[in-house]
Each structure stands twice: as structure tokens, then as C-alpha cells.
């Protein structure tokens, strides 16, 4: 069953079913909560019974375990998100599982209200986490690619301390104005156009737009080494626009 549908109760639940549960992205879940859904249900094929031999359901499981810990970090009840594995022929089981989940979410109450979180505060927290999704995937890519064979491994796979540290030690990137050669390589490769600059203009990373993906760090030619990775320290303020022009030395005739 492909697509995404919404189940209407006194609370709202987003039911996510796609061709492969491995295609369910962290962004999909957080966007659903940002849009006011009270719960998110993800259904996938049984583990080790992948129809496409990609075993994307393991990826989905890891992503859900990570997301539940992130939800705890921002004050949301992780029980609002669940993933269940079953075959496409188990219609009765599917109905029972969804009914049980909808009852649970109904007991939790409307998103945020049940946790006593201000609506605007919750919206801001979710927006900040969504902005960091590329960074989170990079930092946790090894774990997200793991295969958990036993349910006993689920609870401790991601820990609260681990997630707290993840957000506490978020890296930032800064272009050293003394080393930048305005080659425009990082500017062109930035996926969110967070780098300001141009020909003969020292480049500057606009921190409010930056998603911490590290593309600029990887793209900067080693001979320049102008992009710095910063963790645990404030990012230096950008140089004024009137000081960003690079004056090239003319070649000797």
C-alpha cells in the first residue's frame, strides 16, 4: 500500500505506508508532528522478509529508535511514534495494531498539551531539530546502518546521554577570511545556498541557513583549507561586506 493517509479521531494520527519502510525519512516524521499530528504510525514488512532484498525495514527501525530519543530530548512522549512489522496479508493484525495505537495516542492527548509544552515553544524545537536532520544523519550514519537482530537491543541502542551530547556538541562551519580565495567551489556545492559571496568576494557562511552538513568543509580545496569546523566555541562574526573584496595582485609583465 503506497502513500500517506490521515486517520481522524479526537486526536490526529499520521499513518505512514510507502513501498518500502526504509524510505520513511526522519523529516517525514518530524514534519507530521510539526503539522500538528498527535501520533505517527509506520508499518513495514517483517524483518528478514524484505520483498526487495534491501532490508530497508532495518533502516526504518533504527530511524524510529533515534527519533523516539530525539522526541524525549525535546519533551515529547516517544509513545506518540511507533513502528510495527507485519506482512501485507495480515489485515486483521494491521487493524488491531492501528486501533491499539490510536487508543494510546488518544490517552496521551493532543500533541504538546499532554506534555504541557507551549505550542510556540514546541514548534520552535521541532523546527530546530528539522534543520539539523542532515547533520544528525551524518553523525549517526554508522548506527543508522546497523541491523538489530534482537528486540532486547532496541531500548539501549540510542541513549538519552548520547542524544543530549549530540545536540550539545553540534558543529558549526566558518570560512577563514584570511584563507578564502573566493574560488566559489563551496558556494556552488552548498545544498541550501547558505554561503554568500561571488567572484573576488570572500565567502561567508550564513549561520541561520546552514544545516551543518559539512559539504563546504569537504569541498574546500586542501591547498586553501579555508573552512573550519567549530565545536563547543562560538562562531567568529562575519567580516563586514565592505571588507570582503579580494584585491588580486597583478602579474608581472
- The total of structural domains in the chain comes to 2
pLDDT digits (tens, 9 = 90+) for 35-71: 999 999 998 888 988 777 788 899 999 999 999 999 9
DSSP string computed for 141-168? HHHHT----SGGGHHHHS-HHHHHHHHH
The residues, any chain, with a CB within 8 Å of residue 54's CB and separated by 6 or more, are: 20, 22
pLDDT the model gives residue 3: 36
Residue 250 located in a structural domain? no
Pairing of strands 39-44, 81-85: parallel
- Same domain for 128 and 209? no
Residue 252 located in a structural domain? no
Query: In the listed set 134, 168, 202, which residue is the last one of a domain according to the structure?
Result: 168
- Same domain for 159 and 176? no
Residue 249 located in a structural domain? no
pLDDT the model gives residue 56: 87
- Same domain for 38 and 78? yes
Confidence bin at 13 (pLDDT 50/70/90): low
Q: What is the mean pLDDT of residues 72-95?
A: 92
pLDDT the model gives residue 252: 54
Of 3-12, 81-90, 119-128, 217-226, where does mean pLDDT reach its minimum?
Answer: 3-12
- Same domain for 33 and 68? yes
Query: In the listed set 168, 201, 234, which residue is the last one of a domain according to the structure?
Result: 168
Confidence bin at 6 (pLDDT 50/70/90): very low
Q: List the CATH number of the domain containing 210.
A: 3.30.70.20
- Same domain for 127 and 57? yes
- Same domain for 161 and 191? no
Confidence bin at 251 (pLDDT 50/70/90): low
Q: How far apart are CA 236 and CA 228, in angstroms?
A: 11
Residue 42 located in a structural domain? yes
- Same domain for 181 and 164? no
Give the structural domain span for 185: 172-243
pLDDT digits (tens, 9 = 90+) for 167-181: 999 999 999 999 999
Whether the pLDDT of residue 2 is over 50: the answer is no
Q: What is the mean pLDDT of residues 184-199?
A: 96
Q: How far apart are CA 111 and CA 186, in angstroms?
A: 40
Query: In the listed set 168, 199, 227, which residue is the last one of a domain according to the structure?
Result: 168
- Same domain for 159 and 189? no
The residues, any chain, with a CB within 8 Å of residue 34's CB and separated by 6 or more, are: 123, 126, 127, 130
User: What mean pLDDT is reported for the chain?
Assistant: 89
- Same domain for 93 and 154? yes
- Same domain for 149 and 204? no
Q: What is the mean pLDDT of residues 112-140?
A: 94
Share of the chain above pLDDT 90, in %: 74
Amino acid at each position: 500500500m503506497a502513500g500517506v493517509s490521515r486517520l481522524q479521531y479526537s486526536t490526529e494520527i499520521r499513518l505512514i505506508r510507502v513501498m518500502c519502510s526504509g524510505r520513511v525519512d526522519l523529516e517525514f516524521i518530524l514534519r507530521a508532528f510539526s503539522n500538528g499530528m498527535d501520533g505517527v504510525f509506520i508499518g513495514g514488512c517483517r524483518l528478514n522478509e524484505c520483498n526487495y532484498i534491501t532490508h530497508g525495514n532495518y533502516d526504518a527501525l533504527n530511524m524510529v529508535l533515534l527519533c523516539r530519543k530525539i522526541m524525549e530530548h525535546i519533551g515529547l512522549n516517544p509513545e506518540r511514534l511507533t513502528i510495527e512489522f507485519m506482512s501485507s496479508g495480515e489485515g486483521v493484525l494491521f487493524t488491531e495494531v492501528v486501533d491499539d495505537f490510536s487508543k494510546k495516542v488518544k490517552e496521551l492527548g493532543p500533541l504538546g498539551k499532554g506534555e504541557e509544552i507551549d505550542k510556540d515553544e514546541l514548534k520552535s524545537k521541532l523546527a530546530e531539530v528539522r534543520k539539523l536532520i542532515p547533520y544528525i544523519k551524518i553523525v549517526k550514519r554508522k548506527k543508522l546502518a546497523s541491523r538489530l537482530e534482537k528486540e532486547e537491543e532496541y531500548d539501549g541502542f540510542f541513549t538519552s546521554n548520547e542524544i543530549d551530547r549530540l545536540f550539545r556538541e553540534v558543529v558549526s562551519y566558518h570560512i577563514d577570511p584570511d584563507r578564502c580565495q573566493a574560488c566559489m567551489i563551496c558556494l556552488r556545492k552548498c545544498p541550501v545556498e547558505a554561503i554568500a559571496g561571488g567572484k573576488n568576494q570572500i565567502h561567508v557562511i550564513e549561520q541561520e541557513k546552514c544545516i551543518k552538513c559539512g559539504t563546504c568543509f569537504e569541498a574546500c580545496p586542501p591547498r586553501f583549507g579555508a573552512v573550519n569546523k567549530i565545536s563547543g566555541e562560538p562562531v567568529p562574526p562575519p567580516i563586514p561586506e565592505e571588507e570582503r573584496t579580494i584585491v588580486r595582485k597583478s602579474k608581472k609583465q
